[in-house]
């Protein structure tokens, strides 16, 4: 006999786990499935997780509502009060200061493993969620009431709606014929954690120049030692060359890429090179199925908005499902799920388009484009109102 739920969620990462907790808190029954064990390697600092997320104010509030934010050890959070962006091929420069806009910070940097661990604790403590870890969906079908799945353990589950939170290479998206618009960025992102020779001043630094697009994201200091997470976006050829360098030479290249603002002393975790691809599903929903997070859309990581876009999907979808459940409506009906699609698709498309334009503008070294972007950055730097709007948008404040 199949076990019945209101919602089945495939993928227990940040977006899937948050969806499960917020949905179950409102009285819906949830099956949460993931092929992984649900255990996260919380390395002892300064061996920070190489993958970090910049969490906006609106995302933080959502995580607080789930009870996850409160579970994070504050020593693993790094608020950033300023963001400095400069053009290494000119004199263009923009800085954003939280105090200028009467804000405590512009956001918080947190390791993905730390955030996933906090969310998994919430999942395990929330009534109404059944965890199916170390398992995948073997078969998917439909019933008169919704969707049915068979797990690799042969266990059968049924629900009104299946939520795909299974990442950029979503099997639910592929198996159910969701069409996508996608292309390679022609860049790889090198990520790692670096010890630097001076305080980062709780500032996120971002540089554009001959060495590619480089973000330095502040991490908590340890015993007067200072650390940053880097995301270095370069061509595949340059990525291969950088990955082949020994640690000392790699650190020298980092020093040059920051216009010698920092000395990179050492790497605290191994480097990873991640191919970058933009992908956007033409539709987020079908009858009884909804895509969220990276399963629906992926963007360039240069603005650090990927996690926040996924959390915004959750913020839109959960109230729609809860209201439909309270009214006795079929959660998986296309009429219900399209409300979520309408709420999120335009914002996500706009962000994807702006990231593509930003990447094209700042990855070129054509003199005319370089001159124009330096003029634009200088104008932005002098306009407090423009910067205020950008900060509000990044924070998720309408």
Q: Is residue 392 scored above 70 in pLDDT?
A: no
pLDDT of the residue at 27: 97
pLDDT of the residue at 307: 92
Structure tokens, 58: 């609106």
3-class secondary-structure state, position 263? coil
Other beta carbons less than 10 A from residue 125's beta carbon: 11
Give me the percent of the chain exceeding a pLDDT of 70: 87
pLDDT of the residue at 92: 67
- Residue 162: alpha-carbon gap to chain centroid: 21
What single-letter DSSP state applies at residue 101?
A: G
Beta bridge partners of residue 291, listed in sequence order: 164
Whole-number Å distance between alpha carbons of 24 and 126: 7
Whole-number Å distance between alpha carbons of 358 and 302: 9
CA separation, residue 359 to residues 185, 188, 238, 355 (Å): 9, 13, 17, 6
pLDDT of the residue at 374: 65
Whole-number Å distance between alpha carbons of 338 and 324: 12
Average pLDDT (319-348) is 96
Region of poorest pLDDT, from 5-9, 86-90, 194-198, 343-347: 86-90
- Mean pLDDT, the chain, rounded, equals 90
Whole-number Å distance between alpha carbons of 205 and 207: 7
User: What is the value of pTM for the model shown?
Assistant: 0.92
What single-letter DSSP state applies at residue 379?
A: H
Whether CATH 3.50.50.60 fits 3-182+277-395:
yes
Per-domain residue ranges of the chain: 3-182+277-395
Q: What is the DSSP string of 23-40?
A: HHHTT--EEEEESS-S--
């Amino acid at each position: 006999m199949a076990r019945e739920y209101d919602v089945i969620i495939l993928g227990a990462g940040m977006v899937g786990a948050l969806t499960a907790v917020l949905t179950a808190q409102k009285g819906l029954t949830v099956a949460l499935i993931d092929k992984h064990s649900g255990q996260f390697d919380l390395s002892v600092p300064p061996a920070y997780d190489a993958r970090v997320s910049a969490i906006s104010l609106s995302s933080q509030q959502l995580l607080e509502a789930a009870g996850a934010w409160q579970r994070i050890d504050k020593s693993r959070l790094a608020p950033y009060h300023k963001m400095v962006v400069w053009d290494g091929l000119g004199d263009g420069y923009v800085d954003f200061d939280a105090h200028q806009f009467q804000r405590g910070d512009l956001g918080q940097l947190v390791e993905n493993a730390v955030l996933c661990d906090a969310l998994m604790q919430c999942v395990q403590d929330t009534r109404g969620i059944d965890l199916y870890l170390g398992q995948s969906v073997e078969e998917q079908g439909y019933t008169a009431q919704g969707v049915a799945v068979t797990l690799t353990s042969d266990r059968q589950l049924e629900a009104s709606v299946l939520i795909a939170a299974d990442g950029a290479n979503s099997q639910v998206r592929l198996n159910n014929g969701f069409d996508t618009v996608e292309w390679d960025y022609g860049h790889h992102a090198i990520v790692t954690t670096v010890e630097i020779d001076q305080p980062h001043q709780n500032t996120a630094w971002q540089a554009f120049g001959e060495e590619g697009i480089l973000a330095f994201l502040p991490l908590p200091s340890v015993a007067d030692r200072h650390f940053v997470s880097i995301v270095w976006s370069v061509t595949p050829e340059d990525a291969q060359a950088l990955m082949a360098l020994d640690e000392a030479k790699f650190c020298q290249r980092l020093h040059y890429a920051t216009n010698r603002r920092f000395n990179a002393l050492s790497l605290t975790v191994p480097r990873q090179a991640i191919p970058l691809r933009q992908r956007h599903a033409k539709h987020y929903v079908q009858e009884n199925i909804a895509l969220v997070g990276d399963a629906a859309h992926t963007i360039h990581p240069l603005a650090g908005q990927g996690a926040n876009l996924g959390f915004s999907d959750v913020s839109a979808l959960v109230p729609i499902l809860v209201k439909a459940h309270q009214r006795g409506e079929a959660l998986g009906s296309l009429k219900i799920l399209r409300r979520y699609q309408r709420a999120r698709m335009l914002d996500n498309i706009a962000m994807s388009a702006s990231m593509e334009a930003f990447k094209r503008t700042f990855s070129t070294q054509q003199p005319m484009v370089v001159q124009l972007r330096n003029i634009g950055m200088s104008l932005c730097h002098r306009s407090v109102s423009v910067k205020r709007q950008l900060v509000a948008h990044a924070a998720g404040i309408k």
